[in-house]
Amino acid sequence: MNTLDRSTSNPKVVSRDEWVVARKAHLAREKELTHLREQLSAERRALPWVEIDKDYVFEGPNGRETLADLFDGRSQLMVYHFMFGPGWQEGCIGCSFVSDHIDGANLHLAHHDVTLLAVSRAPYAEFQAFKKRMGWQFKWVSSAGSDFNADYHVYPSEAEIAAGRYEHNYTLRDLYLDEHHGLSVFYKDPDGRIFHTYSTYARGADILIGAHNYLDLTPKGRNEASTMNWVRLHDRYEDRPAAAASHSCCE
């Protein structure tokens, strides 16, 4: 069980009037969190920017494209760093869970000056079968042959691999995995200059997962032994809740 979840084996049962008192007290806390989130979002928007001075080239459904091309005529670009390395047959389970939410968001984001897509290090042809199997419609491009993944700290650079240490989630750590997930945000001004405005990793990407917000409203919560250990590729679920632990990329 998630340590934040209250056990449902022996719930406190009260009258409706007592329940309303408790619910109002909790509502005050919910409003406090809402206001804090609004403040945090404002602080995020006020972060300084870094101008991009490197030419990145990607391969996608339109052939070779630059970072500027990925904006698709909009001024804001969100890149989900999807863990799919060269030679993989399937994508990361956690990244796939996140990606199950992208198409719904894109129904609206595309009309609000935002392009949202995925980037992976594997060659473009290698993840097409998996994308088709998952039924995803969002744009997914390959960064193979570029420094993009290393520069945005979801894959170690050659120097970091040689040293056995690398930077991920703004911390220098021992090398133990070659692929990581994350989200990076970019802005393109009217003159065509591109800026990096934000990146988040690990649990920072949890905000992208709408299913978690639904689960957090239920009596059992996320009901997980470790972060997202219950999640499966959406075509691999059984008829009952998953019990066996699986590797999570989102610890």
Nearest to 235 by CA among 81, 91, 83, 84: 91
* Structure confidence at residue 240 (pLDDT): 57
Give the confidence band of 239 by pLDDT, cuts at 50, 70, 90.
low
- CB proximity list for 141: less than 8 A, separation 6 or greater: 58, 59, 60, 65, 70, 117, 118, 119, 120, 124
Rounded Cα distance between 226 and 74, Å, is 38
Give the confidence band of 238 by pLDDT, cuts at 50, 70, 90.
confident
Contact 100, 234 (CB under 8 A): yes
Average pLDDT value for residue range 242-251: 48
Give domain status of residue 93, yes or no.
yes
Rounded Cα distance between 236 and 251, Å, is 21
Give domain status of residue 221, yes or no.
no
pTM for this entry: 0.90
Give the confidence band of 250 by pLDDT, cuts at 50, 70, 90.
low
Give domain status of residue 246, yes or no.
no
Asked whether the predicted pLDDT for residue 3 surpasses 50, the reply is: no
User: For the segment 109-150, what is each residue's pLDDT rounded down to a tens digit?
Assistant: 999 999 999 999 999 999 999 999 999 999 999 999 999 999
Give the confidence band of 176 by pLDDT, cuts at 50, 70, 90.
confident
How many residues are present in the chain? Answer: 251
Asked whether the predicted pLDDT for residue 16 surpasses 90, the reply is: yes
Give domain status of residue 81, yes or no.
yes
Give the confidence band of 56 by pLDDT, cuts at 50, 70, 90.
very high
Instruction: Please report which helix (H) or strand (E) contains residue 30, including its range.
Output: helix 16-45
In this predicted structure, which of 2-16, 25-39, 46-60, 108-122 has the lowest mean pLDDT? 2-16
User: For the segment 73-112, what is each residue's pLDDT rounded down to a tens digit?
Assistant: 999 999 999 999 999 999 999 999 999 999 999 999 999 9
> CATH code at 172?
3.40.30.10
Nearest to 116 by CA among 98, 90, 129: 98
Give domain status of residue 43, yes or no.
no
The whole-chain average pLDDT of the chain stands at 92
Give domain status of residue 212, yes or no.
no
Residue that the structure tokens 């009309």 belong to: 111
Give domain status of residue 56, yes or no.
yes
Tally DSSP H helices, then E strands, for the chain. 8, 10
How many domains does one find in the chain? 1
Q: Which residue range(s) make up the domain with 164?
A: 52-207
Cβ–Cβ contacts within 10 Å for residue 97, how many?
21
Per DSSP, what are the bridge partners of residue 26?
none
- CB proximity list for 7: less than 8 A, separation 6 or greater: 1
